[in-house]
């Protein structure tokens, strides 16, 4: 990095709040905003304007099983109090993949409102996830990544932070995360009719013939709102990705089975936030995404578990501010076709440029980081597991990372 870039880096880090570096002491007092209308339905669960208060009460024996045997899938009955509203007979169990560690005093949890009371919903949802945020000392990378996707008009979960108490004991700061289910689809698209697949770790998207059992239920796990899906549309997608003439692949995909514009926009966000654990994962497989095909429509991709984005750094992952925007594209037929299609390449690059000018504009992101930090800092400081000093360092590192990443993205676009 040359001297001019270093100076720009220091200026941007110092003035990252987006409200200017200096304030006049003689400025008039701001006019208070008018009262806000109450947030209703599922939006109230993922309301990002506040730190939510969540309490669970269940038998000590059931809680101990959740802690000691996190792979036990049995729903344990609990009483939930969410921002003062009481809900009885809520099913609780541990959730997650790498975070299910026996004896972990702060497990990630899934809450089900219909597991013990069949058919019941609460605030228009059937499930929510309470993510313990075990690998991110800043506690905000996943929430910010989802926010960028949604701000760009893409399908993505909602998330907010909460302070969790279990049986009167503080467990700490959690992320209240929207699960990818038909409630999300209905809220965002107006309908949940169609087919939904969760793509499991290692999916390679290679063509293995017309037998659906080669693809379903692994690595494409069906989460259908249709009872008798025949997976024909999934087979059609895989067939075109692998077997259509390369020069016509984009046009055939867009005309029949894939919303190419939405897909390229998703890839632009994925690569811009340097999420190395999605469909462009570096190990030749893929991870952490869903496919949704609305009835009569084309497939759209949905991100999931974006905690490896935005330079998360610990013993499991690098900083990756200089990740190449084409990294991982050649690993799978799902994305390799973009490299060979000049129109798709230019559309992808244009999406990144638009992100940098709008949803990922540096002052906007710096201000967003400061806003979330101010909101969750009390929850972090009282968390019995989180390190407050690691939190402050991680937040400062995140702001610095955004500067470096922005500069690097512009350099790649310019070259």
Q: What is the pLDDT of residue 9?
A: 45
Tokens for 11, please give them: 């200026």
Average pLDDT over the chain reads 90
Peptide bond into 390 cis (omega under 30): no
pLDDT > 70? residue 20: no
pLDDT band at 291 (very low <50, low <70, confident <90, very high): very high
Q: What is the pLDDT of residue 225?
A: 58
Peptide bond into 219 cis (omega under 30): yes
pLDDT band at 312 (very low <50, low <70, confident <90, very high): confident
pLDDT band at 5 (very low <50, low <70, confident <90, very high): very low
Separation in Å, CA 373 to CA 33, 367, 412: 22, 10, 30
In the block, which residue shows the tokens 């919903």? 121
Tokens for 175, please give them: 């992320």
Sign of CA dihedral 267, 273, 279, 280: positive
pLDDT > 80? residue 314: no
Tell me what the mean pLDDT of segment 251-263 comes to. 98
Tell me what the mean pLDDT of segment 257-262 comes to. 98
pLDDT band at 13 (very low <50, low <70, confident <90, very high): very low
How does pLDDT run across 115-126, given as a tens digit for each residue?
Answer: 999 999 999 999
Tell me what the mean pLDDT of segment 5-33 comes to. 48
Closest CA to 133 of 396, 391, 397, 317: 391
pLDDT band at 319 (very low <50, low <70, confident <90, very high): confident
Tell me what the mean pLDDT of segment 285-314 comes to. 90
- Domain extents in the chain: 46-178+369-415, 185-357
165, 181 Cβ separation under 8 angstroms: no
154, 136 Cβ separation under 8 angstroms: no
Tokens for 187, please give them: 């809220």
Q: What is the pLDDT of residue 12?
A: 46
Question: What residues have CB less than 8 Å from 204, skipping those under 6 apart?
Answer: 219, 284, 285, 286, 332
pLDDT band at 226 (very low <50, low <70, confident <90, very high): low
pLDDT > 70? residue 179: yes
Question: What residues have CB less than 8 Å from 318, skipping those under 6 apart?
Answer: none
pLDDT band at 37 (very low <50, low <70, confident <90, very high): low
Q: What is the pLDDT of residue 39?
A: 74
Burial 5-28 (b: 16+ CB within 10 A, else e): eeeebeebeeebebeeeeeeeeee
Percent of the chain, pLDDT > 70? 87
Question: What residues have CB less than 8 Å from 176, skipping those under 6 apart?
Answer: 45, 46, 52, 54, 128, 129, 130, 131, 159, 160, 161, 162
Q: What is the pLDDT of residue 286?
A: 84
In the block, which residue shows the tokens 């990818």? 180
**In terms of C-beta density within 10 A (0-12 exposed, 13-18 middle, 19 or more buried), how is residue 196 classed?**
buried
pLDDT band at 24 (very low <50, low <70, confident <90, very high): very low
pLDDT > 50? residue 8: no
pLDDT band at 230 (very low <50, low <70, confident <90, very high): confident
Q: Which residue has the higher pLDDT, 5 or 188?
A: 188
């Amino acid at each position: 990095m040359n001297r001019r870039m270093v100076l720009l880096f220091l200026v941007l880090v110092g003035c990252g709040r987006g409200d200017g570096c200096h304030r006049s002491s003689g400025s008039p007092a701001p006019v208070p905003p008018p009262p806000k209308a109450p947030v209703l339905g599922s939006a109230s669960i993922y309301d990002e304007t506040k730190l939510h208060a969540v309490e669970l009460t269940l038998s000590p024996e059931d809680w101990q099983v959740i802690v000691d045997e996190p792979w036990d899938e049995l729903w344990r009955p609990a009483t939930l109090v969410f921002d003062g509203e009481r809900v009885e007979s809520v099913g609780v169990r541990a959730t997650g993949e790498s975070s299910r560690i026996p004896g972990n005093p702060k497990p990630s949890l899934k809450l089900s409102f219909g597991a013990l009371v069949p058919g019941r919903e609460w605030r228009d949802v059937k499930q929510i996830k309470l993510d313990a945020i075990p690998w991110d000392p800043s506690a905000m990378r996943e929430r910010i990544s989802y926010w960028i996707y949604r701000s760009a008009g893409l399908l993505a979960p909602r998330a907010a932070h909460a302070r969790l108490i279990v049986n009167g004991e503080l467990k700490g700061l959690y992320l209240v995360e929207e699960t990818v289910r038909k409630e999300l689809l209905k809220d965002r698209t107006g309908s949940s009719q169609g087919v939904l697949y969760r793509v499991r770790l290692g999916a390679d998207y290679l063509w293995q013939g017309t037998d659906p059992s080669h693809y379903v239920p692994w690595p494409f796990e069906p989460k259908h709102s249709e009872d008798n899906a025949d997976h024909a549309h999934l087979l059609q997608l895989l067939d075109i990705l692998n077997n259509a003439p390369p020069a016509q692949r984009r046009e055939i995909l867009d005309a029949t089975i894939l919303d190419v514009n939405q897909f390229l926009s998703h890839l632009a966000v994925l690569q811009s936030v340097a999420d190395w654990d999605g469909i462009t994962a570096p190990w030749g497989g893929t991870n952490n995404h869903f496919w949704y095909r609305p009835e009569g429509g084309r497939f759209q991709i949905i991100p999931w578990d974006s905690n490896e984005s935005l330079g998360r750094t610990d013993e499991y992952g690098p900083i990756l501010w200089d990740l190449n925007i084409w990294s991982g594209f050649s690993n799978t037929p799902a994305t390799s076709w973009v490299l060979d299609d000049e129109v798709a390449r230019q559309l992808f690059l244009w999406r990144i440029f638009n992100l940098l000018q709008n949803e990922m504009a540096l002052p906007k992101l710096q201000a967003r980081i400061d806003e979330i930090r101010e909101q969750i800092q009390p929850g972090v400081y009282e968390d019995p597991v989180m390190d407050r000093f690691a939190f402050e360092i991680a937040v400062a590192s995140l702001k610095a990372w955004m500067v470096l990443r922005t500069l690097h993205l512009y350099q790649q676009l310019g070259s």
